[in-house]
Amino acid sequence: MSLALSPQHLRVALFSMLGIAAMVIALNGAVAMSEWIARAPTSSAIPAVAQPAPEPEVQAPPPAFVFDAPLPGRVINSPFGLRQMPWEESGRLHQGVDIAAPAGAAVKVAAPGVVKATGVSATYGRYVLVVHKGGLSTLYAHLARPARSVKRGAYLRRGDIVAFVGNSGRSSGSHLHFEIRKGDKPLNPSFFLGRTFAEADDLPLRAAGRVSRKVHKATVSRWPPGVTKPAKEKVQLARLKTGRAKAAIPVSTVPAPAASTALSSAEAAI
């Protein structure tokens, strides 16, 4: 019997051997690759890409002017404008606002500033005058007393107590009389209290300086001590375009208090 393989059988055997050899080479290569990876230093890893630092948030600048209510939560019971008291024969300018509050209630400064003056006058009673930036000033009157730290030249920060509510001077009850001025000109505090303004140009000086021709007739529970009916004054009639009288305003008035003058020389309004 002959052991010689046919050409077809030789080709099958050859391809089988080649296949086995290829498998062996592939397995050896995989083993070698895994060993090389295991021996490779860990520092060869791809470094992480650094993320850019976040940009800081842009903070809005603080407001240039902040006006707080001197008696937070209290109501204005006598507004700025022409007012006629029961013992007066005609209306005159009420140069601030009256805020009702019990005696002894703490009064806070409306804005940071420097104490210009403290004292006592016949009409305002005990008072404190504070000057602020921008030519503004605030007045606190009919006080029981100023705070102990409130002296001429003292600097008051926002929220500092400036005085305590009283009934001094020509007053018909416990309350705070509060004024805001630009130089010598009285301004309506209602345009400022509880508001902030980014710049001096934002201050409502024109609107706050307007005075309505309507006269507010005040009512009181009692007359101030020593007040008697005044002699009839010479008055000027403010007329509308139609020529009809709308309000009567005294011609001769006492100069209003200003930050640049002593208050004792200017006792104009209650």
SS (H, E, C) 114-146: EEEEEEEECCCEEEEEEECHHHEEEEEEEEEEE
Query: What is the C-alpha end-to-end distance of the chain, expressed in Å?
Result: 145
pLDDT of residue 253: 35
Residue 218's pLDDT is: 73
pLDDT at site 90: 80
Cα–Cα distance measured from residue 150 to residue 156, given in angstroms and rounded to the nearest whole number: 8
Q: Strand 216-217 to strand 81-84: parallel, antiparallel, or no bridges (unpaired)?
A: parallel
pLDDT tens, residue order, the chain (270 aa): 555 656 666 665 555 665 665 565 655 655 556 665 566 555 555 666 677 777 777 676 677 899 999 999 999 989 999 988 777 778 889 999 999 999 999 999 999 999 999 999 999 999 999 999 999 999 999 999 999 999 999 999 999 999 999 999 988 889 999 999 999 999 999 999 999 999 999 999 999 999 988 888 877 666 677 666 555 544 333 333 444 434 443 333 333 444 444 443 333 333
Read off the DSSP letter of residue 234: P
Domain boundaries, the chain: 65-203+214-219+227-257
Q: Quick one: tokens of 231?
A: 């002699």
Predicted local distance difference test score (pLDDT) of residue 217: 80
Question: What pLDDT is attached to residue 55?
Answer: 73
Q: What distance in Å separates the CA atoms of residue 191 and residue 208, rounded to the nearest whole number?
A: 6
CATH architecture of 65-203+214-219+227-257: Distorted Sandwich (2.70)
Q: Is 70 exposed, middle or buried (0-12, 13-18, 19+ CB in 10 A)?
A: buried
- Residue 266 has a pLDDT of 34
DSSP 255: P
The pTM assigned to this predicted structure is: 0.65
**3-state SS assignment for residue 231:** coil
pLDDT score of 206: 95
Could you count the other beta carbons within 10 Å of the beta carbon of residue 144?
17
59 dihedral zone (left: phi>0; alpha: psi -120 to 50; beta): beta
Supply the pLDDT for residue 261. 44
> What is residue 263's predicted lDDT score, i.e. its pLDDT?
42
Q: What angle do CA 140, 146, 149 make, to 5 degrees?
A: 125
* The pLDDT of residue 236: 39
pLDDT, mean over the chain = 77
Task: List Cβ neighbours of 47 (8 Å cut-off, separation of 6 or more).
Answer: none
C-alpha 90/C-alpha 25 separation (Å) is: 119
Q: Tell me the C-alpha distance between 112 and 205, whole Å.
A: 19
The residue to which tokens 């709308």 are assigned: 246
CA distance 151 to 194: 26
- Residue 190 identity (one-letter amino acid): S
Could you tell me whether strands 195-197 and 81-84 are parallel, antiparallel, or unpaired per DSSP bridges?
A: unpaired
